Structure 1
Amino acid sequence: MLRFLVRRTLGALVILLFISAFTYFLFFAIPHDPALLSCGKNCTPDNIALIHRNLGLDEPIPVQYFHYMVGIFAGRHFSVGDCSAPCFGYSFANSDPVWPTILNRFPLTLSLAAGGIVVFLLVGLGTGMLAAWRRGTFIDKFFSSVSLVLSSMQIYFVGPIVLALLVYNNQLMDQPKYVPISEDPIGWFSGLLIPWCVLSIIFTAGYTRMARSTMIDQLQEEHVRTARAKGMSSRYVFFRYAWRGSLIPIVTMLGLDIGTLLGGAMITEFVFSLAGIGRLAVDSVLRTDLPMLMGVMLFSAALIVLFNIIVDAAYAFIDPRVRLS
């Protein structure tokens, strides 16, 4: 296990290094001067040259990238102040430090992801298992049809409709907002309930179909049929043997989804005007704010890679037949 984790961690670092280099060099392919963000309205050539020098933009791009990567581990000094490790620089748009800004936005994204995961796991796995148990019946056909319809929907379509029906037209619920759970648990729950449900609609369909197909495959396995032949009840066989064997593909999908959601549910946050990691990424792209964009990209990529490693390590615990090598 230790060798596996070390090997995967080293591979993850290589992936993150490639992502950082690709994003950094791609940014400078855009025909836009980032110094204009810090210069304001009354820009002169002398002011722009001074900003270039203060931000290190007057150096060759490979040198800038080297200083950026060193600063993540060792810290850097900027004209606006010292930046201790991990240093991702200061925003070109408002001079805010990147790393504290990401940490301030992350609790909202974490709350959004956690609530959505709970909802779509309970609903998706529950309906998928029920459809597999009642294969060929009306229940199976109903849930399969509903999941097919939901899989074709998108958050940017469902979100505004739900807001119009529940918030703007009928005032049945309040406008979605984020309240820290430590301050007001009820306000935290009610403020994110609509985004959770809309987010779960998109993911539930995939988990329903995955749970149904894997459970049906497991019910055809030899050890399951042998357990039934020994006189064990269908419910016991279903949960004791078939359910555990169907977890690996579900956990694989869940690991990718968790990493993606924690990295920033961009569309959901944008639709519901929630200022999380996803909204920060969108704003950084619109403003061509390289330090903030790089920080969000590396943070999101690190979460996705981390949960991939966790999922791979969890295989051996879920299925004894799997060996990490």
Structure 2
Amino acid sequence: MTRFILSRIAFGVLVLFLLSVFVFFLFYVTPSDPARIIAGDKATEELMAQIRVKLGLDQPIYVQYLQFVGNLLHGDLGYSYRSNMPVSELLASRIPVTMSLVLGAVVLWLAIGIPIGITSARHPGTFRDRAGQAFAIIGISFPTFVLGMVALYLLYFLPSKAGMMLFPPSGYVPFLQDPFGWAWHLLLPWLTLALVVAAVYARLTRGQMLEVFGQDYIRTARAKGLTEQRVTYTHAFRSAMPPLVTQLGIDIGLMLGGVIVIEQVFGLLGVGNLAVSSVAMQDRPVVIAIVLLGGLFVVVSNLIVDVLYAAMDSRVRTAGR
């Protein structure tokens, strides 16, 4: 098991290294001049030359990359071109918002999607199955921003117009400051994100469960007189879990890098919101940091998935050697 984990860690480090090379050359070896972005269009050549020296842009490209990696290893992500703040401080102020949004939505979409998928698989061809498949198709087809706008209109605009305040329109309250206010401000974003992703999990769970229900050992368990509940949750669902865990790891890793649409619709100042504004203002250090952070989240989440997968199935550990 230790060897398996170490091999996955080594692979994750390699992925992050390749990602750092890619983003560095993508953002630094381009026609645009960072010194011009910082100094403005009316800056003199002398001022721009001073900025290039300060940023190390006068050095050979390989020296710039080595300095870039060295700073990363020491936790130095550089300074924002626009706000002149450390990028690490900018990210530290945005990560709690995105993590709160994603982790709360994860709980909801698992609580919604998996039971719907199991119910559909247990009653194939019935009304319950058709209703579950309809939920999955509608959820997958519905754009997230449209669902968010509909939720705001029905649950914020119309009630507030009638003199009631069911939900706030936007904003974020830190959990430690006010746990109730934290949940109240995030409930609509949670539901919007969860309903869309739950449709994917409902469909995936149904497919996996139907496949498992057709296995010989399930028929044997039923022939032995085990209850349907025990057959479903002790035997069938356990076998159907690995693909769900894999999908969950991918989704969490990607979303922690920024849930751009939801954050924009509900005015949440998270990592996705920061990414949009940084790209628009060509704030390279911030964009690079967000890309690397997203890559780190994906690598870590996949490492956790691999460990869980190996714990559930010893054949995975053997194959990874």
| Secondary structure in 1 matching 2:67 | helix
What's the counterpart of residue 79 of structure 1? none
Q: Which residue identity is paired with 2:44?
A: T
After TM superposition, the structure 1 = structure 2 runs for residues 95-110 of structure 1, keeping only pairs within 5 Å, are 95-110=84-99
Distance 2:174 2:19 in 1: 32
Distance 1:109 1:320 in 2: 34
Residue number among 140, 144, 156 corresponding to 1:167 in the alignment: 156
Aligned-residue Cα RMSD (Å) equals: 1.6
Query: Comparing both structures, which one devotes a greater share of its residues to helix?
Result: 2
Distance 1:164 1:229 in 2: 53
CA distance 1:29–1:157, shift in 2 (3 Å) = farther
What's the counterpart of residue 9 of structure 1? 9
Q: Which residue identity is paired with 1:205?
A: A
What's the counterpart of residue 228 of structure 2? 234
What's the counterpart of residue 72 of structure 1? 72
What's the counterpart of residue 28 of structure 1? 28
Deviation at 1:323, TM superposition (A): 3.2
Q: Is the 8 A contact 1:247 1:318 kept in 2?
A: no
What's the counterpart of residue 113 of structure 2? 124
Residue 191 of structure 1 pairs with residue 185 of structure 2: yes
CA distance 1:29–1:167, shift in 2 (3 Å) = farther
Once the two structures are aligned, what percentage of the paired residues are identical?
37
What's the counterpart of residue 258 of structure 1? 252
What are the superposed Cα offsets for residues 60-98 of structure 1, whole Å, 9 maximum, x if unpaired?
Answer: 33321111001122xxxxxxxxxxx21111111111111
Distance 1:64 1:321 in 2: 44
| Secondary structure in 1 matching 2:77 | coil
Distance 2:261 2:144 in 1: 7
| Secondary structure in 2 matching 1:90 | coil
What's the counterpart of residue 128 of structure 2? 139
Which structure has the higher relative contact order (CA within 8 Å, separation 6+)? Answer: 2
Residue number among 294, 304, 311 corresponding to 1:310 in the alignment: 304
Distance 2:315 2:67 in 1: 47
Q: Which residue identity is paired with 1:176?
A: S
- In the alignment, structure 1 segments of 5+ residues that lack a partner are 74-84
| Secondary structure in 1 matching 2:177 | coil
What are the superposed Cα offsets for residues 245-279 of structure 1, whole Å, 9 maximum, x if unpaired?
Answer: 00011001001011112222122112222111111
Q: Is the 8 A contact 1:245 1:319 kept in 2?
A: no
Q: Which residue identity is paired with 2:33?
A: D
Deviation at 1:210, TM superposition (A): 0.6
Deviation at 1:41, TM superposition (A): 6.5
Q: Is the 8 A contact 1:199 1:268 kept in 2?
A: yes
Distance 1:32 1:161 in 2: 40
What are the superposed Cα offsets for residues 279-318 of structure 1, whole Å, 9 maximum, x if unpaired?
Answer: 1222221122121111111111011011111111111322
CA distance 1:152–1:323, shift in 2 (3 Å) = same
| Secondary structure in 2 matching 1:15 | helix
